[in-house]
């Protein structure tokens, strides 16, 4: 057992569960109110933390100090803590519990994690444990296990569908599994229809539904999926740009799939694509996508030619300028995005196809 821990990462529910497991191991239930102390990160000083850790436990194995929102501790105080963590006695256990970090361009925003030097100090005297969101297969298994505990069965494919709709946050999935178990009542098995009817769809899930409609060239369905994304009550321009970014990301993956198809790749999967072709793909290539996403990209890329995708990128660039009010006749962000979605989802009638150009082997 370590004196100091840092629990960090995207899955807040798993972090809280880890704290409860630690408390169950260390704390006598009869004196929990005394031997478990919660400290609020913003406003916490290094001196206050060290003093609290020096209080002897009343009847437990150790006194447990949980610092919530630890990433909110003043940066100067975090720097002082780096020099004092070794003063935490063996009679105490300190857990720095950070909230899920805010992300910007795929990276945690500054200040949304513990100071790097404090993390280094934690690792020197204890452990830093990351709690990322589960990958889709693990999340689907988690849903199946939760429903099994509730006396319900669910096929792996149906559990995977629930994960695609609700995401991989363990806290959200626990709530959705409980809703499903209650909804089916006396029935033993959860179906696809139950998942569709009951589970909440994340913003990412809604965007994937939009992209599915674009990929299958269903313009009417694409518009139905788009409107709720723009009507969430937030800033329409910001939401439009967010959706636009996801559509651009989606088309880039369709482009990769189309290039691989045009290059004659019969199986598109990690380790199955010739090295000289794989070498032209970007670092975060389509081959790194989850299995079900990769299958969708390949299937939907067959509805596009390279020429279609080139025109799609041109339209996305034009929509970006229109949404930002820089250029174009459409001044309303929602309308600009609706026009783009219709253009991307409409099948061309001229039958023309583009060709992918690959480097020489």
pLDDT tens-digit readout, 231-240: 765 678 888 8
What whole-number percentage of the chain has pLDDT above 90? 55
59, pLDDT greater than 50: yes
Q: Is the pLDDT of residue 106 over 70?
A: no
**Which pLDDT belongs to residue 102?**
75
pLDDT tens, position by position, 167-185: 888 888 999 999 999 999 9
pLDDT at residue 275, as a whole number? 86
Please check whether residue 140 is in contact with residue 162, taking contact to mean a CB–CB distance below 8 angstroms: yes
3 state SS for the chain: CCCEEEEECCCHHHHHHHHHHHHHHHCCHHHHHHHEEEEECCCCCHHHHHHHHCCCCCCCCCEEEEEECHHHCCHHHHHHHHCCHHHCCCCEEEEEECCCCCEECCEECCCCCCCHHHHHHHHHHCEEEECCCCCHHHHHHHHHHHHHHCCCEECHHHHHHHHHHHCCCHHHHHHHHHHHHHHHCCCCEECHHHHHHHCCCCHHHHHHHHHHHHHCCCHHHHHHHHHHHHCCCCCHHHHHHHHHHHHHHHHHHHHHHHHHHHCCCCCCCCCCCCHHHHCCCCCCCHHHCCHHHHHHHHHHHCCCCHHHHHHHHHHHHHHHHHHCCCCCCCCCHHHHHHHHHHHHHCCCCCCCCCCCCCCCC
Q: Has residue 360 got a pLDDT over 50? A: no
The pLDDT tens digits of the residues spanning 279-320 come to 888 887 888 887 778 888 899 999 899 999 999 999 999 999
Average pLDDT estimate for 82-88: 94
pLDDT class of 105 with cuts at 50, 70, 90: low
Distance (Å) of CA 185 to CA 152, 175, 192, 219, 294: 10, 16, 15, 37, 35
pTM reported for the whole predicted model: 0.61
| Structural domains of the chain, with CATH | 4-130 (3.40.50.300), 136-198 (1.10.8.60), 203-345 (1.20.272.10)
């Amino acid at each position: 057992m370590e004196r100091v821990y840092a629990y960090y990462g995207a899955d807040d529910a798993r972090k809280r569960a880890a704290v409860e497991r630690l408390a169950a191991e260390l704390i006598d239930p009869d004196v929990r109110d005394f031997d478990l102390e919660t400290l609020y990160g913003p406003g916490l000083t290094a001196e206050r933390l060290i003093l609290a850790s020096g209080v002897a436990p009343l009847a437990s194995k150790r006194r447990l100090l949980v610092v919530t929102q630890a990433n909110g501790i003043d940066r100067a105080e975090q720097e002082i803590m780096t020099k004092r963590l070794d003063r935490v006695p063996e009679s105490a256990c300190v857990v720095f519990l950070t909230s899920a970090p805010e992300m910007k361009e795929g990276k945690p925003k500054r200040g949304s994690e513990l100071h790097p030097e404090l993390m280094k100090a934690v690792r020197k005297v204890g452990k830093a444990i990351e709690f990322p969101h589960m990958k889709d297969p693990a999340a689907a298994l988690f849903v199946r296990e939760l429903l099994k505990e509730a006396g319900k069965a669910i096929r792996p494919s149906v559990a995977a569908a629930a994960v695609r709709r609700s995401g991989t946050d363990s806290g959200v999935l626990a709530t959705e599994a409980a809703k499903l178990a209650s909804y089916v009542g006396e029935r033993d098995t959860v179906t696809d229809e139950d998942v569709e009817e009951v589970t909440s769809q994340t913003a990412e899930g809604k965007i994937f539904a939009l992209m599915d409609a674009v990929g299958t060239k269903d313009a009417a369905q694409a518009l139905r999926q788009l409107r709720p994304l723009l009507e969430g009550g937030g800033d329409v321009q910001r939401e439009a740009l967010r959706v636009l970014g996801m559509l651009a990301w989606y088309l880039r993956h369709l482009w990769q799939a189309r290039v691989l198809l045009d290059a004659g790749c019969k199986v598109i999967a990690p380790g199955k694509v010739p090295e000289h072709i794989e070498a032209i793909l970007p670092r975060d290539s389509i081959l790194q996508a989850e299995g079900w996403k990769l299958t969708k990209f390949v299937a939907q890329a067959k509805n596009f030619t390279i020429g279609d995708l080139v025109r799609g990128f041109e339209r996305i660039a034009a929509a970006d300028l229109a949404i930002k009010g820089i250029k174009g006749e459409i001044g309303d962000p929602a309308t600009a995005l609706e026009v783009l979605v219709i253009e991307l989802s409409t099948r061309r009638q001229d039958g023309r196809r583009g060709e992918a150009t690959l480097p020489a082997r």
